[in-house]
Chain A
Amino acid sequence: MLLFSLRRLNLLLFTILLLTLLSFSLSYLFPGDPLINITGRVLATPEQLEVLRQQYAFDQSVIEQYWSYLVHIANGDLGVSMSSHIAISTEVLSVMPATIELTITALIIAMFFGVPIGFIAAIKHKKTTDNIILAVAMLGYSIPVFWLGLLAILVFSIQLGWLPSAGQISLLYEIKYVTGIQLFDIMLSDSEYKWQAFQDASSHIILPACVIALAPATIFVRIARTAMMEVLESSYIRAANSKGLTFKQIIYRHAIRNASVKVVRHIGLQFANLVTIAMVTEMIFNWPGIGRWLIESIYQRDYTAIQGGLLILSSFIFIVHIITDFIYAALNPIARDTHYGS
């Protein structure tokens, strides 16, 4: 396990290094002066720019520039936003938790529905149930998410009036920012309307989280189905079968657990996909997360924000990736010995 952990941490470090390299090179690729792109100080006077030039080693070679960029990142300095002139790190900190809250909720919903349905499809392999599930799943991951979001608002917010259409919580409630994850902050607050606020915030997250969850859920259906079919064909299930255990016993005691372990392995890979979907969904549901913030930064040509946002968001995805790897390894000892990439 130690070797495994070391290898993964090594990989994480390498990845983040590569991502910083990418975001550093973006300041040269984006239109305009690289120094201004990297610092975001569009309003700086020539004297201030001169100071910045030295701070960021822009009078020296590219390697030294990259190094000083790394030093700035290590100090938590990602420059300032070109449009609001607030530090990128402050802005990211205020929007990132909302995205974490939304994506994790969506991931849980996707797994909660996707995995059991996939198992059912596998158990009923080649029967009508299986075919219907597969057909619905195919439709599910073909729907463009922005369209789905609009239809969901039309049906659930306007026609049925069940769920609110926009935002994280009704603005009537004043919740102090502590962790940024709204549901936690409400629990930590001492507002007299705490429970209504909690209820309100939960009703706000349901619709966007479900819209995001649909496509990943259908993928989990397929992954879970394949995993379960592999398990059912394996020798230990046949052994259990020949020992005289009933089908139910086999499924509940052995198959589900082992198939679930296999599903866990794919969560990390699906997460990047899920975040992509979340970015668009945040725009539609006016969710104050990093996806909406990034897309709005693009509209405003705020290159510093794009660079910083890319770095943070990709690192977040990779960290989730590594965490699921760890969980998988903890559940499945065989995985610890396999080499990365094979």
Chain B
Amino acid sequence: MKSDGDKVRKYLQYGLTGIAMVMGLSACGDNNDLSLSQNSIVYCSEGSPESFNPQTITSGTTIDATTNQLYDRLISFNPNDNSIAPGIAKSWHVTRDGKMITFYLRKDVHFHQTEYFTPTRTLNADDVIFSFNRILDTEHFYYPVSGGQYPFFQSVEFDQVVEQIEKINDYTIRFKLNHSDSSFLSNLATDFAVILSKEYAQKLALENHKRNIDIYPIGTGPYKLKEYHAGSLIRFYPHDKYWQGQVAIKQLIFDITPSNTGRLTKLLTNECDVIAYPIAHKKIGERSDLILEAETSFNIGYLGFNTQKPPFDNVLVRKAVAHAINKQAILDAVYFGQADIAKSIIPKASWAYDDSISDQEYSIPWAKSLLVQAGYKNGFTMDIWAMPVQRAYNPNALTMAKLIQVDLQKIGITANIVSYEWATFLRRVAQGEHQSVLLGWSADHPDPDNFFTPLLSCSSTITGSNRAFWCNQKFDELIQAALATNNINQRKKYYAKALAIVAEEVPLFPIAHSKRYQARNNRVKGKILNSFGGINFSKVSKK
């Protein structure tokens, strides 16, 4: 027994020495530690990207993680006045009939060099043509990769617009259009129209790993992908040959934190430098080292009815529900008064906004009588699908769903709230499994068409961004007509008529137009939020 005791004492000694060594060593390394965090930015994002190629998706989470970080576009929006600014194309020329557009490319644009690809040449016309032909040409060797879905381009009927893309020389290309389209340049400037590397694509095709083009991205943007763990993190390294000059930090990390409170906690404990969609604005305001930012963004939060499924195939039922919901209460409880009531899908800041459209008045007796007319005297049971993540247009869909649940109870409708993990949720909603869904839309560019076509046109019922699955021939004709002309007054008239149809048919119930919020530690400098599309880390630095 005595020897045992000695042994124990000996182990204890070893253990204590070990601990002391660890403490001592870690104490002297503090300087290095500081430099590591000084050169890195941790951004707490709200979800995992579905893909690393924005051509194939529509979700804002994916755009945030990809477009401005990994890629460049031919043209982009000037963040100050939302005019169109040069990107990879240093200049462009549009013929008078609007059917031929020539782009002149930069010559010094390098692609990423990573562990999985080393480029041998700089960007040229082949890469641009490859990137667009992948979307346009159904026979293209990359078209079916990753499912052959290009939802944004399909919803604006890009293939109907573009007749052909010509290579004039290595640094000049020309788009030939079938007809003039007033939103064409805006569409090219959106976050979806990124330029990929043809050389990389050919290499992958040889290795028979075509799918990797959307999983291990190669672009020309300010950062390159280092590693990605779904549900956990994305690590970016700077692109040292970025044509606008290398960024000021050594590492950009997306810390994927779906929980709202989790993100706020990490901001408060300095585990994150910047967080997406902060809650509890008051709490952030109390801390002098934190900054809350807001950017007006073109968006709409709505309750969409699945018009293909009973009972919402009946317009009376849709109207009854619309009249039963107390919008003002939602604005107070969910947006904390930081949003505008939405009367239609178009926000006030857009030139297509029509003041004459009136709101669905909150009136329980009216709603009840509509329900009786529709033949649902005793009400019914329905599902409300509430999106699980926070977006600018809807900071808390679950709370919103609960409020609507209470409202609907008053007219005898029992609502069940359904929710899934974000990627699953989007997939199921796109398949039309829902009865009604709380969702929203953020515009990708300032043209109002970006609200009409993706949200409510017949073509987008197929691509899945029209979650109401509502298809109205007259409405479609109006928005087509609006696109065919460049005369703003003419377009305004068409859009006003289209909005009137929507107000009459109620395929969705507009709720609010909101700002997009972001919070950061004041050590992080540089603009990150834009009015349109995703966030941009190319200008950030850390003090």
Contacts and interface: CB of A to CB of B under 8 A. Distances in A.
Contacts of A296: 231, 421
Contacts of B95: none
A257 B8 CA distance: 12
Contacts of A209: none
B262 A166 contact: yes
A222 to B, nearest CB: 25
Contacts of B266: 165-166
Contacts of A158: 265, 268-269
Contacts of A170: 37, 271
A300 B251 CA distance: 32
Contact of B42 (A157, A172, A174, A192): A172
Interface stretch (A117-125, A193-201, A223-231, A263-271): A193-201
A84 B424 CA distance: 10
B401 interface: no
A34 interface: no
Interface stretch (B24-32, B85-93, B479-487): B24-32
Contacts of A196: 26, 29-30, 32-33, 36
Given A165-B265, A171-B233, A172-B37, A286 B420 contact: no
Could you tell me the dominant secondary structure of chain B's interface residues? Answer: mixed
Given A166-B257, A166-B262, A199-B26, A172 B40 contact: yes
Interface residues of A, number: 29
A340 interface: no
Nearest to B23: A199
A161 B33 CA distance: 18
Contacts of A257: 1
Nearest to B424: A300
A127 interface: no
Interface in A64-113: 83-84
A138 to B, nearest CB: 30
Interface string B1-24: 100000000000000000000100
Interface residues of B, number: 34
Given A172-B251, A198-B26, A192 B32 contact: yes
A286 B262 contact: yes
Could you tell me the dominant secondary structure of chain A's interface residues? Answer: loop
B179 interface: no
A305 B37 CA distance: 36
Contacts of A167: 255, 271
Contacts of A301: 420
Interface in A238-273: 253, 257
B421 A299 contact: yes
B235 A171 contact: yes
Interface in B397-437: 420-421, 423-424
Interface of B: 1, 22, 25-26, 29-30, 32-33, 36-37, 40, 42, 226-227, 230-233, 235, 251, 253, 255, 257, 259, 262, 265-266, 268-269, 271, 420-421, 423-424
Interface of A: 83-84, 153, 157-158, 161, 164-167, 170-174, 192-193, 195-196, 198-199, 253, 257, 286, 288, 296, 299-301
Q: Which 4 interchain pairs have the tightest Cβ spacing? A: A199-B26, A196-B33, A195-B26, A195-B25
Given A166-B262, A172-B40, 7 more contacts: A157-B269, A158-B265, A164-B271, A165-B271, A166-B257, A167-B271, A174-B226
